[in-house]
Structure 1
Amino acid sequence: MKKVLITGANSYIGMSFDKYVSEHYNSQLSVETVDMIDGSWRQKDFSLYDIVYHVAGIAHADVGNVSDDVKAKYYAVNTDLAIETCKKAKSEGVKQFVFMSSAIVYGDSAPYGTQKRITKDTEPTPANFYGDSKWQADKGVRELADDSFIVTVLRPPMIYGKGSKGNYPTLAKMAKKLIIFPNVQNERSMLYIENLCEFLCEFLCQVMIRGEAGLFWPQNSEYTRTSDMVKKIAEVCGHKIFVSRAWNWVVGLAKVIPGKPRGLANKAFGNLSYDQSMSHYDFEYIVADLKSSIERTEG
């Protein structure tokens, strides 16, 4: 049985992974969690664990008019803490370090009407301090890898599921309240939380045996269109919503208004997807398609 230490208590991903392991992989993985807030984690003995899974971080940044102190906090938590944790894991004999990076390292979504398809050859180009804080950590932890210390970096797209934060709850609120919604032909990669947890369990149980490191891009097996997701959420919740291209002019208008309207339009209806070939591995990790993932999330 492999012993996994999750660094980052009360995080959505960490708690979801812990629960998933207890329900599906408790004979293969043993999971413990340590809080990273007060600094007491520095006294914890990492040598007791085979794997350190680092999920601590600050997400969902408001990247508008923020102070230098706020930006410094993002670098302190997202970059410095991650690298310090990785160094501690390495110095205390941990075999593998897994770091949760993000698609945010590739910058913002492409504007409404413009495609953005990421491949393995796409170079990260963070658009703001939040993305750069993750990118600096992404690079920093990989520099610590060697023949006896495996460093794995995951760059998932938007993660959603029951209890998730960020964009999904906003879409769900609209799906449950609005009567009409634009039918914009956008394309986004997303990752349902249980698909991520299954990926991690299969990876830690099987891939680590072969000593594989490097970058991984797990995602759902199908791309998501914002209008389709809103329609599916409404259906699951028993709410009628009419999705029509007749209302696309609203998005088009918001797109050309500087400031918040443009930002919201691009965030909701922009394009950002991973090439599907990046996410195919020699193990299966898709436990729920888009429809069933929404049913599980809203159920």
Structure 2
Amino acid sequence: MIIISGYTGFIGQNLLSCLDNSRGISLRTANWQDRMDGETIINLVGKAHDHKGEATEKDYAYANVDLSKAVFEAFLNSSASLLIHVSSLAALEEYEADKPLEEMAVCHPSSWYGRSKRTAEEWLLNQKIPAGKKLIILRPPMVHGPGDKGNLGLLYKWVSKGIPYPLASFNNSRSFISIANFCFFIQEIIRKQDQLESGVYHVADDEPVSTKEIFNIIKKVTNKKVINISLPKYLVRTLAKVGDIIPIPLNTKRLKKMTSNLLISNQKIKDALGIEKLPLSAKEGLEKTIRSFGD
């Protein structure tokens, strides 16, 4: 039996669909610790980015640190031999990395979200893992797929309305992971867990893509003839600063996410599991996600 804590979200629902003999549990249920009766526990409990700005630092600490500690303690007292703790690339870096980041890179989380994810990682890595048990910490970049629009949904709406892409003067490269490839990694980790040492592993698609490429994929999928405009970078940055004050679709934080490089390497886990190539290329995964927006 595979136990998934935090199963109600996008990733959890997809894992329940792809993993045989899996069951979700809620930490809001009384005596939830007694239900950790599987061979593998996947911990998805946590609080993601709060785009409305309503969450506090304590909210992140409780959801991402305190609850992770509770799940780990339950793991120690259970019959499970494997705990897969899903962290985030934000625990390492949130905005910019021009070269693919490896697992031993120095961490620079900058938000309450990223810092809380890193704090949980540090606590877990400092715990003694008993013989016969294993802890795998995964750091994915943005996970996308049918059922979750996120920032891709914003670009999709942009194209659907026929709005020209104004950021063509920026050339960037970013790592993503499709939910199909994420589920594949989880399946392989469970199946080949004896080949892995406890520790941190990065999971991502094999190829990075640019925001401009994503925009072109959306145009292809939607068959919309929307033009790309190369506005001067200084003008775009000025407009983004205006967006920090007035609620328009672009602000400095969003601009940085859409135009900076943020790359991570998935080579460590691929080498450990003997994976040469993931099931979907980055572009295939993006096309699949974007097609779902029109369903």
| Common fold by TM > 0.5 | yes
Which one of the candidate residues 265, 270, 276 is aligned to 2:255? 265
Superposition RMSD in Å? 2.4
8 Å contact from structure 1 (residues 195, 285) kept in 2: no
Which one of the candidate residues 54, 67, 78 is aligned to 1:81? 67
The count of residues paired between Structure 1 and Structure 2 equals 281
Structure 2 partner of 1:32:
23
Residues 1-299 of structure 1: matches in 2 within 5 Å? 3-21=1-19, 26=20, 30-36=21-27, 38-46=28-36, 48-62=37-51, 70-110=56-96, 115=98, 117-144=100-127, 145-181=129-165, 182-183=167-168, 184-206=170-192, 208-210=193-195, 212-246=197-231, 248=233, 250-254=235-239, 259=244, 261-275=251-265, 277-278=267-268, 280-281=270-271, 282-284=274-276, 286-297=278-289, 298-299=291-292
Deviates more, 1:130-139 or 1:247-256: 247-256
- For residues 131-160 of structure 1, give each alpha carbon's deviation from its aligned partner in whole angstroms, at most 9, with x where no partner exists: 111111112223332433210000011111
Distance 1:218 1:160, change over 3 A: same
Shift of 1:246: 4.4
- For residues 234-265 of structure 1, give each alpha carbon's deviation from its aligned partner in whole angstroms, at most 9, with x where no partner exists: 21122122224346554343466684622221
Deviates more, 1:121-130 or 1:94-103: 121-130
Amino acid aligned to 1:214: G
Q: Distance in 1 between matches of 2:70 and 2:25?
A: 15
Shift of 1:165: 4.5
For structure 2, the 5+ residue unaligned runs are 246-250
Q: Distance in 2 between matches of 1:130 and 1:102?
A: 9
- For residues 107-148 of structure 1, give each alpha carbon's deviation from its aligned partner in whole angstroms, at most 9, with x where no partner exists: 3313xxx83642333111210211111111112223332433
- For residues 206-226 of structure 1, give each alpha carbon's deviation from its aligned partner in whole angstroms, at most 9, with x where no partner exists: 1x1335321111111111100
Query: What TM-score comes out, normalization by structure 2 length?
Result: 0.86
Distance 1:128 1:88, change over 3 A: same
Q: Distance in 2 between matches of 1:266 and 1:156?
A: 19
Q: Distance in 1 between matches of 2:219 and 2:284?
A: 14
Query: What TM-score comes out, normalization by structure 1 length?
Result: 0.85
Q: Distance in 1 between matches of 2:171 and 2:222?
A: 23
Q: Secondary structure of the residue that 1:9 maps to in structure 2?
A: coil
